[in-house]
Structure 1
Amino acid sequence: MVWPLDMPEAQATYDRLFPYYVEVSAVTQLRPRGERAGGPGGHATMFIGGASRDPSAGYPRLRLADENATDTGTGVSVNRAFANANWIAVAGREMFFHGGMRDDETLDRRRFDAALEQAAQAGWFEGVELTRAAGSPRVADVEAVVRHSIGTDFALTFGRTVYAARLPMPRPALSKVIDYLNDLNDRAAWRGYQWNALTNNCSHVIHNALAAAGVWDPKTVRAGTTVDTILDLLSVATAVVRRRMSDFSFPANSFVRVFEAANERPIDDAAHAWRDHDIRRSIDAGWLVTGPGGLVRRYPMHDPSRNDLFAPGRDPVLASVPLLWDKRRTFVDLTRATPAHLSDLAANLTHFRERFARALARERLQGDANFATRYERVIASELERTDRAIASIANDAASTASLSATPVAVTSKRAPS
C-alpha cells in the first residue's frame, strides 16, 4: 500500500490523522522575466494546519480552528516591506502555495492580476502598511501591499519552487505557536516592525514560534546594529562549544532542522532520549517531536512552458560545513531524491511503528525511574496511535479501490422524438 501526498485523497487523510501541524518551507530565488532577480538567500514560510485567521483584530492574527472544522490551515510569511506587521496570514493551502492556479493554466499577466484581485478582496492584508523603503508612504494601500507580497507571501509557486518539511504536534503545542506569532504582530501593530537579514529575518520568526511549542531552544533576536551582528557571530562559537544552535538563521537550514526534529532525534531507546534535552522537554510535556507525519514535500514552480512571468531561480543559501556539519548533503538528499518513508504517508507510519516497537522492547532505563516511566508511556501511546492510523489508511485505500472498481453507468444520447 502506498499513500504519497500528491494523491488527491492523501492530503485529506493527512489532515484527519494530523489535524495540527506546521509545514516549514524554504523557497528558491524569485526571478521575474526581464527584471533583476531577488536575493540569493531565498525565503522561509510556514503553513499551519489547524489554524485560521482571526478577522476581529484589524491586522493579521491567528486562532486555533474549531476541532471539527474541515479544510483549515493558514500560511504565514514574513516580509521585509511590512512596516506594522511582522507576518501576514493567508487562508487555505491552494492560495498560499499555488495562488489558486491549476497545473494546466498559463501564468500570464491576466491570471496574475486575477490572483492579485482575489487576495486584495480576501481581507488578508487589512491594516498592513509598507515601509518607505518599499516605495510607499506608511499608508494601508491594500493593492500596493498585495503587489509586494505575491510570489513571496502567497502564490509561492508562481515563481518559486517550495521545499517543505512537516511537523505534527498536539493542539496545546500548536496553541503556543499561535500565541507567539500573535504576540509578534500585536507588538508590531503598535511599535512597528524592523526586519534585518542577519539578526531578525523570516527564519527567526519560524524558529522561535516552534521553540515556543518546545520543539527546540529559541534564538536571540537582535536589532541589527554592528554590535548585534558581532554578538550573532559570537553565538556561533558558543553553539559549537555547547552543541547548540547559533543565533543566525537561514531559510534552507530551517527546512533541514524541521526535518531532523521530526525524524532523526534518538527516540529509539530511553538512555539516548534522556541525554537529549529536546527530547526530554517534549516527553515531559507528554508528546514526541520526532514521530509519524514528519513528511517532506516539494512543490515545483509553475511549469516554465506555461509561465510567461517567471524563470526558475537558484536554491536558497544554506549554512553547511562538509564532514563536520554537512547540511548541504541533507538538503540535496531531501529535495532531489526524497526517501519513501518521508514522502509516502503509509511508509512513514510503518517506519515509525517499527521504531516505537523496537524502543519498547529495549531494556528499561536505569537510574531515572520517573523519566523511564514517562518515556515508556509516551512511546506506548504513540505506538497505539500509529497502529490506528495505519488501519485508517488501509480502510481509506480499500474505499478508494472499491470506488475505482465500480462501473460507471453510461447514458446513451436520447433519440430524437
Structure 2
Amino acid sequence: MNRIAAAPPAYEDIVPYYAELCALSELRKKPGFGVPLNSGMGGHLLLYLNGVRVDRSSGYPVIEVVPPGADSGRHGVAISANSHYRNANWVAIEDRDFIFRGALAPGEALTREVYERTQASARERGLLDGIVFHEHFFRDKPPGMSVEDFKYEISVATDYGSTFGRNCYRARVPLDTPRMERLVAFLNELNEPYRTGKRIYHWRIFNDNCVHMAHNALAAAGFWAPWPTGQLPVLAAFRFPVPKNALVDLALRANDQPIENAEALFANAEARRTLVETGGLPTGPAALTSAVSAVAANDIYDVRRLRLIFYDNPFWGRYRGWFKRILSEPRYTDLKANLRHFAQRYQLAARDMPGPAGWARGERAQFRDAYAQYIADEAAKVAEWQASLDAGRLDGRALLARSVA
C-alpha cells in the first residue's frame, strides 16, 4: 500500500494566531507600461494578521477571528492604510501568497502577463469592493481605463502583490485568541465612521499614516501605549511613526523586556499593569524577524537599491545598530534558537522567583502571583513548541520559511 507522507509543519501549525508588521521599501515602476508609479523612501507598512478572515457580505470589508480549531492557522489577511481611500482607514487583503506575490508562481519572472493576471485576480476577489477613492487620484487615470481598473492599478505592489516592486522586512509576534479579538475589534471600530459616512478619511503623514493604524492595533492587544493621532502638525513632525522604525520597535518589544527580573518588571508601571490585568507580557517566544527581497526577474519594476529609511539621527541614532543586530542574531530569526533562548530565560526567572519577603501584601503580592503563573505557563508553552519542532525534524529557519512568501 502506498502511504501519503504528511506535509511538513509550518510555523502556523505551532502558532496559528500572530500579527506581523511588514515594512515595505520604496517603489519604482519602469516606464512604458500602465500607470507610472514611484513612492517615497519612507516606504509603506502592512499589518498581516494570521488566524483572521474577511467578511465581505455587507459590501464592505469587515474582519473576524477564525475560531480556534477551525483550521485557523490557514487563514490570514493584510491590513493596509492608504491615502487613496475616502470611506475607509484600511482595506483587507486575503491569502498570504497573494498579498506578497500576487499570481506569481514559484520561480516565475514578473512579466506583463503575470502583472495583468494578478490584477484580474484581485478584481475577481473583490479586494476593493465597497472602497471609494478620493477623486483627485483619478486625475492621472489614462484615457479609456475604467475607474475600477485604475483603482487596482495604483494599488498593486502596495496593498497586494507587495514584493512585485518592494523589499519586505517582517517582525511577527504570536497572539492568543483574546488579544487577537481585541485587535480585530479595534480595527473594525476604526473603519466604522468612514463606513457609515460620518467621516471622510484623510491620510496624513505626521498624524494618521499606515503605521499609526498598525501601532494602535497592537496597542489594543496590549503591546504598548497608543500613538496619538490628531496632534498639531508642528508638534507631530518632531516624532511620528515610520515603517522601518516600527519594525525594530516591535522586534525589540517582543524579545528584549527583562522577563527574568521580577523587580525590574514591577518597577515598570506599564509592564506591571499589563501582567496583572492580562496575565501576559509583550515579550515572549516565537517572535521572529525575516526579510524578503523584491522579485528579481522583473519587467515591471526597478528593484535595484530600494531604499527604506529610518526616522532617526543619522550620526548617533540607535535604530541602525538595533536593526543590524536583529537580522544577525539567530534568536531573532530562527525559531529553534529563539525557543532555546526563552527556555533559558524562564529557567532563570523560576530560579530567582521572589519569595514572600517584601512581596507578601498588597500590589506586590498580586504582582508576584501573576508573575509566578506567567513564568510557569510560558515555560510550559516553550517546552510544548520545542517538542513539536523536534517531532517535525525541521530547523527553525526552515519552519519559518514555509510560511514566508
Give 2:402's aligned residue.
Answer: none
Residue 242 of structure 2 is aligned to residue 250 of structure 1 = yes
Residue 148 of structure 2 is aligned to residue 152 of structure 1 = no
Give 1:65's aligned residue.
Answer: 66
Match of 2:342 among 322, 341, 352: 352
Give 1:167's aligned residue.
Answer: 173
Give 1:407's aligned residue.
Answer: none
**In the TM superposition, what is the alpha-carbon distance from 1:342 to its structure 2 partner?**
1.8
Give 2:143's aligned residue.
Answer: none
**In the TM superposition, what is the alpha-carbon distance from 1:102 to its structure 2 partner?**
2.8
Using the alignment, how far apart are the partners of 1:360 and 1:203 within structure 2? 37
Aligned partner of 2:105: which letter? Answer: R
Aligned partner of 1:143: which letter? Answer: D
Per-residue Cα deviation, 1:44-75 (whole angstroms, up to 9, x for no partner): 11110111001223212100012123311111
**In the TM superposition, what is the alpha-carbon distance from 1:322 to its structure 2 partner?**
6.4
- Secondary structure of 2:264's partner? helix
Using the alignment, how far apart are the partners of 1:170 and 1:324 within structure 2? 37
Residue 136 of structure 2 is aligned to residue 133 of structure 1 = yes
Matches within 5 A, 1:90-109: 90-109=93-112
Contact 2:260-2:349 within 8 A present in 1 as well: yes
Contact 2:275-2:371 within 8 A present in 1 as well: yes
- Secondary structure of 2:60's partner? coil
Distance 1:98 1:9, change over 3 A: farther
Using the alignment, how far apart are the partners of 1:392 and 1:274 within structure 2? 33
Give 2:377's aligned residue.
Answer: 381
TM-score normalized with structure 1 length: 0.83
Using the alignment, how far apart are the partners of 2:88 and 2:147 within structure 1? 14
The more displaced of 57-66 and 291-300 is: 57-66
Residue identity over aligned pairs, in percent, reads 30
Unaligned runs of 5+ in 2: 1-6, 141-145, 395-405
Matches within 5 A, 1:185-224: 185-189=191-195, 190=197, 191-222=199-230
- Secondary structure of 1:46's partner? strand
Using the alignment, how far apart are the partners of 1:260 and 1:69 within structure 2? 32
TM-score normalized with structure 2 length: 0.86
Distance 1:57 1:186, change over 3 A: farther
Match of 2:235 among 222, 226, 231: 231
> 4+ residue runs of structure 1 moved beyond 4 angstroms?
322-325
Contact 1:44-1:203 within 8 A present in 2 as well: yes
Give 1:341's aligned residue.
Answer: 331
Match of 2:14 among 9, 12, 17: 17
Residue 290 of structure 2 is aligned to residue 297 of structure 1 = yes
**In the TM superposition, what is the alpha-carbon distance from 1:118 to its structure 2 partner?**
0.3
Using the alignment, how far apart are the partners of 2:53 and 2:29 within structure 1? 31
**In the TM superposition, what is the alpha-carbon distance from 1:184 to its structure 2 partner?**
1.6
- Secondary structure of 2:341's partner? helix
Using the alignment, how far apart are the partners of 2:194 and 2:351 within structure 1? 50
Contact 2:77-2:93 within 8 A present in 1 as well: yes
Match of 1:392 among 376, 388, 402: 388
**In the TM superposition, what is the alpha-carbon distance from 1:260 to its structure 2 partner?**
1.0
- Secondary structure of 1:279's partner? helix
Contact 2:37-2:154 within 8 A present in 1 as well: no
Distance 1:173 1:26, change over 3 A: same
**In the TM superposition, what is the alpha-carbon distance from 1:314 to its structure 2 partner?**
2.9
Using the alignment, how far apart are the partners of 1:322 and 1:36 within structure 2? 28
Contact 2:166-2:306 within 8 A present in 1 as well: no
Contact 2:27-2:37 within 8 A present in 1 as well: no
Q: CA RMSD in A?
A: 2.2
- Secondary structure of 1:181's partner? helix
Distance 1:209 1:33, change over 3 A: same
**In the TM superposition, what is the alpha-carbon distance from 1:282 to its structure 2 partner?**
2.9
Distance 1:136 1:120, change over 3 A: farther
Number of aligned residue pairs:
368
Using the alignment, how far apart are the partners of 1:208 and 1:187 within structure 2? 17
Match of 2:259 among 253, 267, 270: 267
**In the TM superposition, what is the alpha-carbon distance from 1:339 to its structure 2 partner?**
2.0
Unaligned runs of 5+ in 1: 1-7, 237-245, 399-417
Aligned partner of 1:273: which letter? Answer: L
Give 2:3's aligned residue.
Answer: none
Contact 1:28-1:314 within 8 A present in 2 as well: yes
Contact 1:26-1:44 within 8 A present in 2 as well: yes
